[in-house]
Amino acid sequence: MQSLLSANDLHVSYGAVEAVRGVSFDIRQGEIVAFLGANGAGKSSIMNAITGLVPTASGQVMFEGRDITGAAPETLAPSGLTLSPEGRRVFGTLSVADNLRMGAFALNDKDAVEAAYARVYELFPILLERKDQYAGTLSGGQQQMLAVGRALMSNPRVLLLDEPSLGLAPLIVDQIFDLILKLRDQDVTLLVVEQNVAKTLQVADRAYVLVNGEVVEQGKPAELSASGTMQDAYLGAN
Ligand SMILES: Nc1ncnc2c1ncn2[C@@H]1O[C@H](COP(=O)(O)OP(=O)(O)OP(=O)(O)O)[C@@H](O)[C@H]1O
């Protein structure tokens, strides 16, 4: 399979804090790849560096054969790479439909926008039901669906999901993981950061385990679960 998104020796620093220390990865078309690790392991920093939200200190990020290191976030969505950030940052005083519309800024014709709405409303019927409601009045799970829906409005080929199940009730968590599988069936390649290790390993094709900003292990879920590294990663051992 062809490499779609990759990083080579990626470093991210915040002043003296070295959050990401020489991370390399390679994601191929059609894969669901997970980044796992304890709080502060550097997962969000990797996602944010890929999408230009935080500066890359050194290293290289490639997307579809192009060097996108340090590219501005607004240039990436039009090229097919979109992040659904941690914390469901929806605009509470805008309607559900208007929140979705913001995700479609990269689409330049009305038919494409309508098709994107139709796809998101089919994936999340509750958003259609609530389309005129202020996003701030949605439940946590619905706001998460809106955040993912907004990212999907740009028709990404690669979708980065940062902690999509965080703080959600078990039933909604199951829906989020079902959605990840459904999106893969729609040819979306997924990079998922998660703390819900068990669920994530049920859907992921491969995972990278991070400790203190470094990849300590990678492989297929069955290989990882069999080793003690995962446990160490979550206990914060290094
Ligand atoms: N804006 C920032 N300024 C300073 N330090 C930061 C900043 N963002 C993250 N860090 C630090 O960088 C390290 C990695 O954080 P990051 O958020 O990438 O980890 P994470 O694995 O995503 O954790 P979490 O699961 O808690 O979101 C942590 O030590 C964190 O405190």
Whole-number Å distance, alpha carbon 45 to ligand 1 midpoint, is 6
Whole-number Å distance, alpha carbon 175 to ligand 1 midpoint, is 27
Q: What is the pLDDT of residue 238?
A: 44
The response to whether residue 169 sits with its C-beta less than 6 Å from ligand 1 reads: no
Q: What is the pLDDT of residue 237?
A: 47
With the most atoms of ligand 1 within 8 angstroms of its CB, the residue from 11, 23, 44 to mutate is: 44
> Mean per-residue pLDDT for 175-202?
92
pLDDT at 235 over 60: no
Q: Domains of the chain, with CATH numbers?
A: 3-87+157-235 (3.40.50.300)
> Mean per-residue pLDDT for 202-206?
95
Provide the mean pLDDT of the chain.
90
Tokens 């920093």: give the residue: 45
* Higher per-residue confidence, 229 vs 63: 63
Q: What is the pLDDT of residue 226?
A: 62
Query: To 10 degrees, the CA torsion angle through 119, 194, 161, 165?
Result: 40
E strand or H helix at 8, and its extent? strand 3-14
Closest residue by Cα to atom 5, ligand 1, is: 14
Tens digit of pLDDT for each residue in 4-25? 999 999 999 999 999 999 999 9
The burial class, CB within 10 Å (0-12 / 13-18 / 19+), for 118 is exposed
The response to whether residue 236 sits with its C-beta less than 6 Å from ligand 1 reads: no
Tens digit of pLDDT for each residue in 28-80? 999 999 999 988 999 999 999 999 999 999 999 999 999 999 998 888 988 89
Tens digit of pLDDT for each residue in 130-149? 999 999 999 988 999 999 99
Whole-number Å distance, alpha carbon 228 to ligand 1 midpoint, is 24
The response to whether residue 85 sits with its C-beta less than 6 Å from ligand 1 reads: no
Residues 54, 51, 163, 87, CA torsion sign: positive
Backbone angles phi, psi at 98, to 5 degrees: -70, -35
* Higher per-residue confidence, 98 vs 169: 98
Q: How far apart are CA 224 and CA 94, in angstroms?
A: 43
